[in-house]
Protein backbone atom coordinates (compact mmCIF):
# COMPACT_ATOMS: atom_id res chain seq x y z
CA UNK A 1 0.00 0.00 0.00
CA UNK A 2 1.24 3.47 -0.90
CA UNK A 3 0.37 6.60 1.03
CA UNK A 4 1.18 10.10 -0.16
CA UNK A 5 0.91 13.30 1.89
CA UNK A 6 -0.56 16.15 -0.11
CA UNK A 7 -0.72 19.72 1.09
CA UNK A 8 -3.58 21.53 -0.61
CA UNK A 9 -3.77 25.28 -1.22
CA UNK A 10 -7.27 26.68 -0.66
CA UNK A 11 -8.30 29.79 -2.56
CA UNK A 12 -11.23 31.75 -1.09
CA UNK A 13 -12.86 35.04 -1.97
CA UNK A 14 -15.76 36.75 -0.21
CA UNK A 15 -18.62 38.50 -1.99
CA UNK A 16 -20.84 41.16 -0.48
CA UNK A 17 -23.50 40.39 -3.09
CA UNK A 18 -26.45 38.15 -2.24
CA UNK A 19 -26.01 34.40 -2.43
CA UNK A 20 -28.27 34.13 -5.49
CA UNK A 21 -26.54 36.95 -7.34
CA UNK A 22 -23.09 35.58 -6.54
CA UNK A 23 -24.11 32.11 -7.71
CA UNK A 24 -25.64 33.54 -10.89
CA UNK A 25 -22.44 35.45 -11.67
CA UNK A 26 -20.36 32.32 -10.98
CA UNK A 27 -22.38 30.02 -13.22
CA UNK A 28 -23.07 32.48 -16.05
CA UNK A 29 -20.14 31.22 -18.14
CA UNK A 30 -20.21 27.56 -17.08
CA UNK A 31 -21.96 25.09 -19.38
CA UNK A 32 -24.79 23.03 -17.89
CA UNK A 33 -25.47 20.16 -20.27
CA UNK A 34 -28.00 17.41 -19.63
CA UNK A 35 -25.52 15.08 -17.92
CA UNK A 36 -27.34 11.84 -18.77
CA UNK A 37 -27.34 12.70 -22.47
CA UNK A 38 -23.76 14.01 -22.26
CA UNK A 39 -22.52 10.80 -20.64
CA UNK A 40 -24.25 8.62 -23.23
CA UNK A 41 -22.77 10.71 -26.05
CA UNK A 42 -19.34 10.63 -24.41
CA UNK A 43 -19.40 6.83 -24.20
CA UNK A 44 -20.69 6.56 -27.78
CA UNK A 45 -18.15 8.99 -29.27
CA UNK A 46 -16.27 6.97 -31.90
CA UNK A 47 -13.05 9.00 -31.83
CA UNK A 48 -11.10 11.41 -29.66
CA UNK A 49 -12.00 14.17 -32.11
CA UNK A 50 -15.72 13.39 -31.74
CA UNK A 51 -15.34 13.43 -27.96
CA UNK A 52 -13.56 16.80 -28.08
CA UNK A 53 -16.33 18.22 -30.28
CA UNK A 54 -18.92 16.99 -27.79
CA UNK A 55 -17.05 18.66 -24.92
CA UNK A 56 -16.73 21.93 -26.87
CA UNK A 57 -20.52 21.96 -27.26
CA UNK A 58 -21.07 21.28 -23.54
CA UNK A 59 -18.75 23.85 -21.98
CA UNK A 60 -19.61 27.49 -21.52
CA UNK A 61 -17.48 30.46 -22.49
CA UNK A 62 -15.26 29.72 -19.46
CA UNK A 63 -14.36 26.39 -21.14
CA UNK A 64 -15.85 24.65 -18.10
CA UNK A 65 -19.06 22.74 -17.43
CA UNK A 66 -21.04 21.80 -14.36
CA UNK A 67 -21.19 18.07 -13.73
CA UNK A 68 -23.37 18.15 -10.61
CA UNK A 69 -24.30 20.34 -7.68
CA UNK A 70 -24.96 19.32 -4.11
CA UNK A 71 -27.24 21.43 -1.95
CA UNK A 72 -25.17 21.21 1.23
CA UNK A 73 -27.40 23.88 2.77
CA UNK A 74 -30.43 21.56 2.66
CA UNK A 75 -28.60 19.16 4.97
CA UNK A 76 -27.11 21.86 7.22
CA UNK A 77 -30.47 23.60 7.67
CA UNK A 78 -31.81 20.49 9.39
CA UNK A 79 -29.54 21.32 12.34
CA UNK A 80 -29.84 25.12 12.15
CA UNK A 81 -26.70 25.53 10.05
CA UNK A 82 -25.92 27.64 7.00
CA UNK A 83 -29.00 28.55 5.00
CA UNK A 84 -27.25 28.72 1.64
CA UNK A 85 -24.41 26.39 0.73
CA UNK A 86 -23.75 24.63 -2.58
CA UNK A 87 -20.95 22.38 -3.71
CA UNK A 88 -20.44 22.55 -7.47
CA UNK A 89 -18.37 20.02 -9.38
CA UNK A 90 -17.05 21.72 -12.51
CA UNK A 91 -14.43 20.93 -15.07
CA UNK A 92 -13.64 19.92 -18.59
CA UNK A 93 -12.94 16.28 -19.58
CA UNK A 94 -10.26 17.42 -22.05
CA UNK A 95 -8.39 19.33 -19.34
CA UNK A 96 -8.65 16.29 -17.04
CA UNK A 97 -7.33 14.05 -19.80
CA UNK A 98 -4.31 16.31 -20.35
CA UNK A 99 -3.37 15.99 -16.69
CA UNK A 100 -4.28 12.31 -16.23
CA UNK A 101 -2.15 11.17 -19.17
CA UNK A 102 0.90 12.29 -17.21
CA UNK A 103 -0.48 11.77 -13.68
CA UNK A 104 -3.23 9.14 -13.58
CA UNK A 105 -4.15 10.20 -10.02
CA UNK A 106 -5.15 13.64 -11.38
CA UNK A 107 -8.44 12.04 -12.44
CA UNK A 108 -9.25 11.68 -8.73
CA UNK A 109 -9.23 15.48 -8.37
CA UNK A 110 -11.21 16.37 -11.48
CA UNK A 111 -13.81 17.68 -11.84
CA UNK A 112 -12.93 20.27 -9.22
CA UNK A 113 -15.10 21.44 -6.35
CA UNK A 114 -16.24 24.99 -5.77
CA UNK A 115 -17.96 25.61 -2.46
CA UNK A 116 -20.33 28.57 -2.35
CA UNK A 117 -21.58 29.25 1.16
CA UNK A 118 -23.23 32.16 2.87
CA UNK A 119 -21.82 33.28 6.22
CA UNK A 120 -22.45 36.26 8.46
CA UNK A 121 -19.81 38.35 6.68
CA UNK A 122 -20.62 37.45 3.09
CA UNK A 123 -20.80 34.72 0.48
CA UNK A 124 -17.62 32.63 0.38
CA UNK A 125 -16.40 31.04 -2.83
CA UNK A 126 -13.70 28.45 -2.12
CA UNK A 127 -11.59 26.22 -4.32
CA UNK A 128 -8.78 23.76 -3.61
CA UNK A 129 -5.97 24.25 -6.09
CA UNK A 130 -5.49 21.47 -8.63
CA UNK A 131 -1.81 22.37 -8.94
CA UNK A 132 -1.25 21.86 -5.22
CA UNK A 133 -2.99 18.48 -5.42
CA UNK A 134 -0.83 17.11 -8.23
CA UNK A 135 2.46 18.91 -7.55
CA UNK A 136 3.80 16.00 -5.44
CA UNK A 137 3.68 13.74 -8.49
CA UNK A 138 6.41 15.75 -10.21
CA UNK A 139 5.01 15.80 -13.76
CA UNK A 140 5.74 19.21 -15.28
CA UNK A 141 3.28 18.80 -18.16
CA UNK A 142 0.36 17.98 -15.85
CA UNK A 143 1.36 20.74 -13.46
CA UNK A 144 1.32 23.32 -16.26
CA UNK A 145 -2.24 22.30 -17.18
CA UNK A 146 -3.26 22.40 -13.51
CA UNK A 147 -1.82 25.89 -13.04
CA UNK A 148 -3.79 27.08 -16.07
CA UNK A 149 -6.96 25.49 -14.65
CA UNK A 150 -6.35 27.10 -11.25
CA UNK A 151 -5.95 30.51 -12.88
CA UNK A 152 -9.19 30.02 -14.82
CA UNK A 153 -11.17 28.95 -11.74
CA UNK A 154 -9.71 31.65 -9.49
CA UNK A 155 -10.58 34.34 -12.06
CA UNK A 156 -14.10 32.91 -12.27
CA UNK A 157 -14.48 33.16 -8.48
CA UNK A 158 -13.05 36.68 -8.36
CA UNK A 159 -15.46 37.80 -11.09
CA UNK A 160 -18.42 36.27 -9.26
CA UNK A 161 -17.44 38.02 -6.02
CA UNK A 162 -17.05 41.52 -7.55
Reported confidence tier of residue 2, pLDDT bands at 50, 70, 90? confident
Check whether 77 has a pLDDT greater than 90: no
Percent of the chain's residues with pLDDT above 70: 99
pLDDT of 86 reads: 97
pLDDT of 81 strictly over 80: no
pTM of the model: 0.92
- Write down the domain spans for the chain: 10-30+62-161
Average pLDDT for 98-110: 96
The CATH label, of 3.40.50.460, 3.30.930.10, 3.30.310.70, 3.40.50.300, for the domain at 10-30+62-161 is: 3.30.310.70
pLDDT band at 82 (very low <50, low <70, confident <90, very high): low
Whether 71 has a pLDDT exceeding 90, the answer reads yes
Q: What is the mean pLDDT of the chain?
A: 96
Q: Buried b vs exposed e over 18-31: b needs ≥16 C-beta within 10 Å?
A: ebeebbebbbeebb
Amino acid sequence: MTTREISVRRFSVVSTRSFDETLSRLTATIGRPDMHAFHRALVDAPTAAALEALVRQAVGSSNLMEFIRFDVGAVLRKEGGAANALRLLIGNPIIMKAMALAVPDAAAYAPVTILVDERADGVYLSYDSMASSIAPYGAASALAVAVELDTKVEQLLEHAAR
